[in-house]
Amino acid sequence: MKNSSEKIKIIPLVIAVTGHRDLVDTELGAIRARVKSLFLELQENYPANPLMVMSSLAEGADMLVAEVAIELDIDLVVPLPKSRETYLPDFRTEQARQRFDLLCSQATQVFELVSDIPVAPVGMDQAKWENDYPYAKLGIYLSAHCHILLALWDGKASSHLGGTAQVVEFHHDNVMPGITPKSVAAQQMLVDDESDLVFHIVCSRDSEGFEPHPDHTPLDWSWYSKDVDEPRSRQLPAQHVLIFQRSSEFAVDALQFAEQIEAGKWSLIGENIETKLPEGAEAIDRIYYRADWLAIYYQRKTLRTLFITHWMAFLMGLMFILYSDFQSVRVLLLAFLGFFAVATAAHYLAKKGAWQRKYLDYRTLAEGLRVQFYWAVAGVTDENRWKYAHDSYLQSQNPEFGWIRNVMRVGGIRCDAYPNEDPGGVAFTVDEWVGAPDRGQLGYFKRRAHERIKRQELTERIGRLSLYVSVLAVFVFIFADSLLPDPVHVFLTVLMGATLLSYGVREGYAYATATKELIKQYEFMLRIFDNAHRRLSATEETEELRLVLAVLGQSALDEHSDWILMHRERSLDESEIWRMGS
């Protein structure tokens, strides 16, 4: 096995395999060539995202794709549906078992998706259920943690639980007969979902009725998604192109600032941790602190741009007031245009670098990873065992946010395979995540709410000052205008205009940074974490603690979804700069 302890430096593009075991010998060469061509094309288009292939190494399609991955030096991850001892008898020949052992030795990771098998649904044979259930669970796991499902499939529907047809159906509709309820399909019906991407290579089967579905030609291929207008195409669907580009952009940024990130990172694990973390938690943390550092970096650039543009807007307005009320000299108008040019240049650079979008996206990713990390450490799992932390995050929002879920899929590959059962993980999460009034997220939201309130109070004081100055100036003009020398008259006029202008610009800055809305959000999250803190302090039952942490995490994910939408609406453009300055 390859060294699995090597740190993941960038976000891989994960391809999971599902396919038939009984492929036709005469088609193997063409299928292998098509798989290789797909991998090479993806490597060329997304060089910052190394490919990762997930295959259970079953005979036929799984082994074929795994061998192509090894040939191209692509990381191979092997989730086994059963323990190795009970899986080996599924291979028909000693040669197949030897190929399996060889591929396992060349894989980056090999792990088992072993769990208790529930009682068979009514009307289903228990023995058949026990045999097929591990493969159904494997298909669900592969679907939930890949970016592309590579299906070597005859295109025919099937009632075989966990078979290729049902895995493809689950990837599109989140439905696995006998395992997922129909209500899940209803929930997914109206939602744009980036997790539906299948690369379908049509294959025959070496058995009776081996021909593919009549609508398909052997060895034909297509991208297959839930797109209403063009479910099958030769080109990667535009929605997925954007999502892969965003993931690649994040990987490029993480590589560009790799040294700075390592030097200034803030890890969720900490330095003097005594609790043993579950397998895979460090992988989530590594992605988290990269997203967190980059979010802070682009936040500073965004706030600097807002600071510059609002100061320029104030100076533009001041130049206009001076031109109108003091001296109508040409240089004041030139200064007005000069300040506008500076503001426009700052805005142009910010827009070209996508600073605000990156700040918002990376912060949203980091907060999703924070929840994913602490859930993994505490052993919090969805009551629906086919659902994971990333599945519903931002699901009903802008489809382009799907890249954030795609990154979280990578982070959860190991933790989602092994839910942590150690109560020590719960204690660690309560202490580090929830914390107390002076630390953790509870302390964070308390501080941030206080800071935002102070900022809003300053804005209100500037507003009151501008009002008092304006009222005073009006009274002077009413009762003593004829007695005022011209310079005093002009000074009061400019002062009144400048104070009103300063308040208007300050109010614009407060709007751009969503100060009022953030106060409400921080206070809401403070109450949520405070309530969680009280409930967690009142019980020592591990499952009760996990329940509270599950509800808390979902509330945090929902709030982060609202946060990014609110800030996306507050981008500043040239017309807004001109309006404030005028």
pTM above 0.85, yes or no: yes
pLDDT on residue 391: 76
| Whether residues 142 and 59 fall in one domain | yes
| Whether residues 203 and 293 fall in one domain | no
Q: State how many domains the chain has.
A: 2
| Whether residues 228 and 292 fall in one domain | no
Q: What is the CA radius of gyration of the chain?
A: 30
Q: Is residue 249 part of a domain?
A: no
Q: Is residue 42 part of a domain?
A: yes
**Angle subtended by helix axes 355-378 and 402-411, to nearest 10:** 40
Distances (CA, A) of 529 to 443, 507, 519, 520: 9, 30, 15, 14
Domain of 180, CATH number, reads 3.40.50.450
Looking at 217, 238, 259, the residue that finishes a domain is: 238
Q: Is residue 85 part of a domain?
A: yes
What 3-state DSSP class applies to 306?
A: helix
| Whether residues 122 and 213 fall in one domain | yes
| Whether residues 303 and 213 fall in one domain | no
| Whether residues 222 and 291 fall in one domain | no
Pick the closest to residue 549 from 561, 562, 531 (CA basis). Answer: 531
Looking at 238, 262, 289, the residue that finishes a domain is: 238
pLDDT on residue 3: 47
| Whether residues 452 and 334 fall in one domain | yes
Q: Which residues pair with 15 in a beta bridge?
A: 53, 148
| Whether residues 218 and 305 fall in one domain | no
pLDDT on residue 476: 83
Looking at 177, 204, 238, the residue that finishes a domain is: 238
pLDDT on residue 296: 96
Q: Please, which residues have CB within 8 angstroms of residue 370's CB and are 6 or more apart in sequence?
A: 268, 288, 433, 556
The amino acid occupying position 259 is: E
Q: Is residue 401 part of a domain?
A: yes
For residue 80 the two structure tokens come to 């086994």
**Angle subtended by helix axes 515-537 and 440-480, to nearest 10:** 150
How many other β-carbons are positioned within 10 Å of the β-carbon of residue 309?
Answer: 30
- What does the alpha-carbon distance between residue 125 and residue 128 come to, in Å, rounded to a whole number? 5
DSSP 3-state percent helix, strand, coil across the chain (nearest 5): 60, 5, 30
How many other β-carbons are positioned within 10 Å of the β-carbon of residue 189?
Answer: 8
**Burial group, residue 211, by CB count within 10 angstroms (0-12, 13-18, 19+):** exposed
pLDDT on residue 545: 95
**pLDDT tens track of the chain, all 582 residues?**
554 434 445 789 999 999 999 999 999 999 999 999 999 999 999 999 999 999 999 999 999 999 999 999 999 999 999 999 999 998 989 999 999 999 999 999 999 987 778 888 887 888 888 888 999 999 999 999 999 999 999 999 988 888 999 999 999 988 887 787 665 555 555 555 667 899 999 999 987 677 898 899 999 999 999 888 889 999 999 889 999 999 999 999 999 999 999 999 999 997 767 778 888 899 999 999 999 999 999 999 999 998 898 888 888 888 888 887 666 678 888 888 899 899 889 989 999 999 999 999 999 999 999 999 999 999 988 766 667 777 778 765 567 788 998 899 998 898 888 888 889 999 999 999 999 988 999 999 999 999 999 989 998 998 898 888 888 888 888 888 777 787 787 788 788 888 888 888 888 888 888 888 889 989 999 999 999 999 999 999 999 999 999 999 999 998 888 888 777 766 655 555 555 555
Please give the residue range of the domain that contains residue 391: 281-581
pLDDT on residue 7: 41
pLDDT on residue 38: 98
| Whether residues 472 and 528 fall in one domain | yes
Q: Is residue 412 part of a domain?
A: yes
Q: Is residue 250 part of a domain?
A: no
- What does the alpha-carbon distance between residue 166 and residue 154 come to, in Å, rounded to a whole number? 12
User: What kind and span of H or E run contains 19?
Assistant: strand 13-19
pLDDT on residue 249: 95
| Whether residues 291 and 208 fall in one domain | no
- What does the alpha-carbon distance between residue 489 and residue 483 come to, in Å, rounded to a whole number? 10
| Whether residues 61 and 173 fall in one domain | yes
Q: Is residue 444 part of a domain?
A: yes
Length of the chain: 582
| Whether residues 340 and 478 fall in one domain | yes
pLDDT on residue 5: 38
Q: Is residue 19 part of a domain?
A: yes
